[in-house]
Amino acid sequence: MINIFKSFNPLNVLWLAILVFIFRIGYIAEAPDKLQFISVEPFARLLLPVGYEYAFSPFENVFIAGLLILSQAVLLNFLVNKYNLLGRSTFLPSLMYVTVTALFPQFLILSAPLLCNFLLIWMLFKLFSFYKGEDAKSTAYDLGMIVAIGTVIYLPYVYLFLAIWIGLIIFKPFNWREWISGVLGYATVFFFFAVFYYLNNRLGSFYQIWAPLGTKFPNSINIKYLNYLVLVPVIVIIGLFLFYFQKNYYKSYVQVRKSFQLLLVIFVIGGLSFYVKSRFSLTHFILCAVPSSVFLAYYFVNASRKWFYESLYLLLLISIIYFQFNTF
């Protein structure tokens, strides 16, 4: 399987579509009668007054989510190849994305974080362009607007604003105008929200939009650890990625090194921002799928022992399907 996707063959998109279907068979068989889909935060519901949470049947919900993931996988693959992050053109990033977004049943359905992954990939295109761009002010402004749109869809996405400033630190010399441009871009979107609240006589409650950001980081989370055994192969692969990456670190182009630093930052931000939502949900962590897919792809591109890396991916594949049919 890995060798098939190591080559840059457009026909691999068909294999991706087959994998997307295979990963969802188990969930469709056990899907509940109704699946809720909320595409914007409560403070934006004035813009969408029509009820839509149960507009799709479970099959339609999972099918549309699969199409979105397939589209995101192709976009991510194009991004990685455009900036030559792996040293060669390959379809492995798309394979890893389709795989990572099937780790948990909560990843298989329509959700706000899933929609935000389109915005995250769009952000990465612009963030990576910082390296060769002379004037980043307009790009930073656009990035601020993208984060604001993501905030409207899913509030924890607001923390991805930090990725703009960190991206400027990594790729560019300090220029306060570029830093302010990101803030202005973000403020532009919410200025129109403020006007909309004002016209609806609700300006007094506008500040409450960001009230959840004051939530304290939880001291403990009640989870069933056996359900997370599927992550064991992923952790092993990420460990191997770190080994190969530090081995090749100074052999890589400067842009590649900086790009992976930024991806690591985004991975951490995406993982730690879950606490903003009062109810813990694994759905949030699909935000980590984009950077982690690139990490996994890096290992498989550089791995040399075919029997080992093919067996490792097969183990991951079997684990995903097994845990879809078995919960503890």
Among 55-69, 197-211, 246-260, which is the least confidently predicted range?
197-211
pLDDT tens-digit profile of 268-315?
A: 999 998 888 767 788 899 999 999 999 999 999 988 888 888 899 999
- Determine how many CB atoms are found less than 10 A away from the CB of residue 4: 13
pLDDT tens-digit series, residues 185-205: 999 998 988 888 888 777 777
pLDDT of residue 53: 65
At 261, the pLDDT band (50, 70, 90 cuts) reads very high
User: What pLDDT does residue 202 have?
Assistant: 77
Mean pLDDT of 100-121: 91
pLDDT tens for residues 127-176?
999 888 778 899 999 999 999 999 999 999 999 999 999 999 999 888 88
Report the alpha-carbon distance of residue 110 to residue 60 in Å, rounded: 10
Q: What pLDDT digit, counting tens, does each position of 18-31 carry?
A: 999 888 887 776 76
pLDDT of residue 160: 95
CA 96/CA 241 separation, integer angstroms: 13
As given in the structure block, the two tokens for residue 81 are 């190849």
C-alpha 73: how far from its chain's center?
11
Which of helix, strand or coil describes residue 110?
Answer: coil
Q: Is the pLDDT of residue 222 over 70?
A: no
Give the closest residue to 148 by CA, choosing from 172, 113, 183, 97. 183
- Helix crossing, 137-153 with 176-199: angle to 10°? 40
Per-residue confidence (pLDDT) for residue 223, from 0 to 100:
66
Mean pLDDT of 233-258: 87
3-state secondary structure of 193: helix
Cα–Cα distance between 226 and 148 in angstroms, integer? 37
Q: Residue 321: pLDDT above 60?
A: yes
Task: Give the model's pLDDT for residue 158.
Answer: 93
Stated pTM of the model: 0.92
Report, as an integer, the average pLDDT of 195-219: 77
Least confident window among 6-15, 198-207, 236-245: 198-207
Q: Please give the Cα distance from 21 to 26 (Å, whole number).
A: 10
DSSP annotation of 326: -
**What's the rounded mean pLDDT across residues 307-328?**
82
The whole-number pLDDT of residue 47 equals 66
User: Do residues 264 and 272 touch, judged by C-beta distance below 8 A?
Assistant: no
pLDDT for residue 185:
94
- Pick 298 or 41 by higher pLDDT: 298
Task: Count CB neighbours of 178 within 10 A.
Answer: 21
Q: Is the pLDDT of residue 322 over 60?
A: yes
Quick one: pLDDT band at residue 55, thresholds 50, 70, 90?
low
Q: Tell me the pLDDT tens digit for each residue of 65-97.
A: 999 999 999 999 999 999 999 988 899 999 999
Terminal alpha carbon distance of the chain = 29
Residue with tokens 């359905």: 109
Question: What pLDDT is recorded for position 87?
Answer: 85
